[in-house]
Amino acid sequence: MNRIKWTDRRFDFNFPTGIYPEMIERVRGTPARLEELLDGLAPETLTNQADGRWSIQENAGHLLDLEAIVSQRIDEYLAGNATLHAADMSNRKTYDASHNNVPIDSILKTFRAVRHDIVQRLESFDAEIFARAALHPRLNVQMRLVDMLFFQAEHDDFHLARISELKQLLAKQ
């Protein structure tokens, strides 16, 4: 069975705003899950572009790269913007970062620290902030802050699943 491309995914944000604590927990947990997936992998495994796509390490670096847009979008919700900032769908930041040339510990440590800061910020908000909505430009749907957290957690899981897939592929080689 082929995986659905991230850009082909569609989302139904039909859950109550009150599940925002669970969404915070999902985004909080990604650094630990990523570290567990990568634990003990050799540098050549981490940087192997087995199928001509991003390596395990590049997928990890991509998660770090996107933390800036998460922070920016949180600012946009707080400011009451009507539309969220569009993501760079070419992923230029990830390609330009040369993550395979950076020690994995640096990527993991920085990701954990940046994500921690985002989670602390989210935990400081009053509940009604999570109901604020803005237009997501690619999906062309109204997205509440709680929905954006769900979307981010799904994106995290998409790349964690890809890393698991690459680990399995590389183990067979």
Domain containing 165 equals 18-171
Q: Is residue 138, in this structure, part of any structural domain at all? A: yes
Tell whether 7 is covered by a domain: no
User: Residue 172: what are its φ and ψ, rounded to 5°?
Assistant: -85, -15
Query: 9 lies in a domain?
Result: no
Q: How many domains does the chain have?
A: 1
CATH number where 40 lies: 1.20.120.450
> Does 23 map to a domain?
yes
Domain-located, residue 8: no
- Domain annotation covers residue 109: yes
DSSP-H helix ranges across 17-171: 20-38, 43-46, 56-65, 67-79, 92-97, 104-123, 145-171
What does the pLDDT read at residue 25?
98
Q: What is the pLDDT of residues 40-95, one digit of tens each?
A: 999 999 999 988 899 999 999 999 999 999 999 999 999 999 999 999 888 889 98
Please tell me the distance from the alpha carbon of residue 119 to that of residue 25, in angstroms, as a whole number: 8
Is pLDDT at 1 greater than 60 in this prediction? no
| Chain position carrying tokens 């539309």 | 83
> Which is higher by pLDDT, 105 or 6?
105
What is d(CA 111, CA 161) in angstroms, rounded to the nearest whole number? 18
